[in-house]
């Protein structure tokens, strides 16, 4: 029974990278003009898994280096996508499996051999940037969402939709959660608001078309959403931001980086206290002028912190029994 007849699906594996960097106040992702078809749609760098690739991650790194010349530091597997109806059709009956990766790059002006470009990721997700308060798009998105909730006949289904909408978009008193990026995108996809959802059905743009952010090739916007969600979640308990920072920086620069990724504003003094007491950074001794105000102390990341933080006397004693 464990041996299937031979219905086995022929598969092509695509390694897809979401390469993130920060430029000033912009969170950026590396994209390339799409190979065939619609030139307007940009795609994430990706390439097929090949024989010579010993591991999946090695394959990804090799593709990225070849295509963009970007130097990847941190790399993490995100998710494997393989839904039949959300995947580009190869025509030959083979199924496309896309393994998404999140990669962090210290940016710099990496030499990019081809036409790759960095794009502000909020261009694709305008509702995710709360740094200057609640984005106005949300105002308009709320209407179709509520309509969708109301469209279900009262009862379990209605309740379920309501809960889903509230959690994802922070409606009815529920707080906005910065890391529910994927849930939000998926909900908009189901509502047909997102352009990608209307491709298969060749449906005309709905009235809400303008609300949608910039679409991407294939299912890449979904992969990007997954990456942002993961990064926003991770940033809260692992010192990954530093992978995106230059060797030295100031408190404010660090704070801006976090804000840029999380899409929210933070309380300056408390952020400072937090970072300082965790021992994640140390002063280089230098002073940085030209900050627009009083000069700031220059900082650098302290690798050792990771170990120390767990040392006894500091945080976590035993295990917490949450739930």
**Closest separation in Å from C-beta 203 to a copy of itself:** 20
Q: What is the CA radius of gyration of the chain?
A: 22
298 within 8 A of 288, measured Cβ to Cβ: yes
89 binds, among DNA, a copy of itself, none (CB under 5 to 8 A by kind): none
Q: Give the residue, chosen from 154, 204, 289, 316, that forms a contact with a copy of itself under the rule CB under 8 A.
A: 316
- Nearest-angstrom CA–CA distance, 188 and 212: 9
CA 61, chain centre distance (Å): 18
**Closest separation in Å from C-beta 202 to a copy of itself:** 20
Using CB under 8 A, which residues numbered 103 to 132 contact a copy of itself? 114
Q: Which is nearer to a copy of itself, 274 or 287 (CB)?
A: 274
- Among the listed ranges 33-41, 107-115, 210-218, 249-257, the one in contact with DNA (CB under 7 A) is 249-257
229 within 8 A of 182, measured Cβ to Cβ: yes
The upper half-sphere exposure of residue 25, i.e. CA atoms within 13 Å in the direction of its Cβ, equals 8
Using CB under 8 A, which residues numbered 200 to 219 contact a copy of itself? none
Q: Which is nearer to DNA, 153 or 294 (CB)?
A: 294
280 binds, among a copy of itself, DNA, none (CB under 5 to 8 A by kind): a copy of itself
47, β-bridge pairs:
15
Q: Which is nearer to a copy of itself, 53 or 184 (CB)?
A: 53
Q: Which is nearer to a copy of itself, 189 or 211 (CB)?
A: 189
- Among the listed ranges 147-155, 185-193, 199-207, 255-263, the one in contact with a copy of itself (CB under 8 A) is 255-263
81, β-bridge pairs:
98
Using CB under 7 A, which residues numbered 263 to 322 contact DNA? 267-270, 272-274, 277, 287, 289-297, 314-318, 320
- Nearest-angstrom CA–CA distance, 194 and 211: 8
Strands 296-301 and 281-288: antiparallel
Cα dihedral 127, 133, 139, 140, rounded to 10, equals: -40
Q: Give the residue, chosen from 96, 251, 259, 260, that forms a contact with DNA under the rule CB under 7 A.
A: 251
Q: Which is nearer to DNA, 311 or 316 (CB)?
A: 316
Count of CB atoms within 10 A of residue 45's CB? 24
**Closest separation in Å from C-beta 289 to a copy of itself:** 25
Q: Which is nearer to a copy of itself, 32 or 106 (CB)?
A: 32
52 binds, among a copy of itself, DNA, none (CB under 5 to 8 A by kind): a copy of itself
**Closest separation in Å from C-beta 247 to DNA:** 17
The sign of the torsion formed by the CA atoms of 51, 56, 57, 60 equals: positive
What does the DSSP assignment read for 224-277?
A: HHHHHHHHHHHTTTS--GGGGS-SEE-HHHHHHHHHHHHTS---HHHHHHHHHH
Residues whose CB is less than 8 angstroms from the CB of residue 19 and which lie 6 or more positions away in sequence, other chains included: 29, 30, 45, 64, 68, 70, 72, 103, 104, 105
One symbol per residue from 27 to 46: x for binding a copy of itself (CB under 8 A), - otherwise; what is it? -----x--x---------xx
323 binds, among a copy of itself, DNA, none (CB under 5 to 8 A by kind): a copy of itself
287, β-bridge pairs:
297
**Closest separation in Å from C-beta 289 to DNA:** 5
Q: Which is nearer to a copy of itself, 210 or 267 (CB)?
A: 267
**What residues line the site for DNA (CB under 7 A)?**
250-252, 267-270, 272-274, 277, 287, 289-297, 314-318, 320
């Amino acid at each position: 029974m464990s041996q299937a007849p031979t219905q086995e699906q022929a598969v092509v594996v695509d390694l897809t990278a979401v390469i993130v960097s920060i430029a000033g106040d912009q969170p950026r992702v590396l994209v390339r003009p799409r190979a065939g078809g619609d030139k307007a749609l940009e795609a994430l760098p990706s390439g097929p898994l090949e024989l010579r690739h010993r591991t999946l991650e090695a394959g990804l790194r090799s593709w990225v280096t070849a295509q963009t010349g970007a130097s990847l530091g941190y790399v993490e597997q995100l998710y494997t996508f393989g839904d039949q109806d959300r995947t580009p059709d190869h025509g030959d009956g083979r199924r496309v499996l896309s393994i998404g990766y999140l990669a962090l790059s210290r940016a710099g002006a990496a030499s990019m051999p081809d036409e790759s470009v960095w794009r502000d990721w909020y261009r694709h997700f305008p509702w995710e940037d709360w740094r200057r308060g609640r984005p106005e798009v949300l105002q308009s998105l709320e209407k179709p969402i509520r309509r969708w909730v109301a469209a279900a006949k009262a009862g379990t289904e209605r309740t379920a939709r309501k809960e889903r909408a509230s959690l994802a978009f922070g409606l009815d008193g529920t707080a906005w959660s910065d890391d529910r990026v994927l849930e939000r995108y998926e909900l908009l996809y189901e509502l047909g608001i997102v352009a990608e959802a209307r491709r298969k059905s060749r449906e005309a743009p709905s009235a809400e078309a303008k609300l949608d952010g910039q679409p991407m090739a294939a299912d890449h916007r979904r992969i990007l959403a997954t990456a942002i969600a993961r990064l926003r979640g991770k940033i809260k308990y692992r010192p990954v931001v530093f992978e995106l920072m230059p060797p030295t920086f100031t408190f404010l620069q660090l704070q801006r980086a976090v804000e840029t990724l999380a899409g929210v504003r933070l309380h300056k003094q408390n952020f400072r206290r937090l970072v300082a007491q965790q021992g994640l950074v140390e002063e280089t001794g230098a002073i940085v002028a030209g900050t627009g105000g009083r000069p700031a102390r220059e900082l650098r990341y302290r690798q050792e912190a990771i170990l120390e933080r767990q040392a006894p006397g500091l945080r976590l004693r035993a295990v917490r029994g949450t739930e």
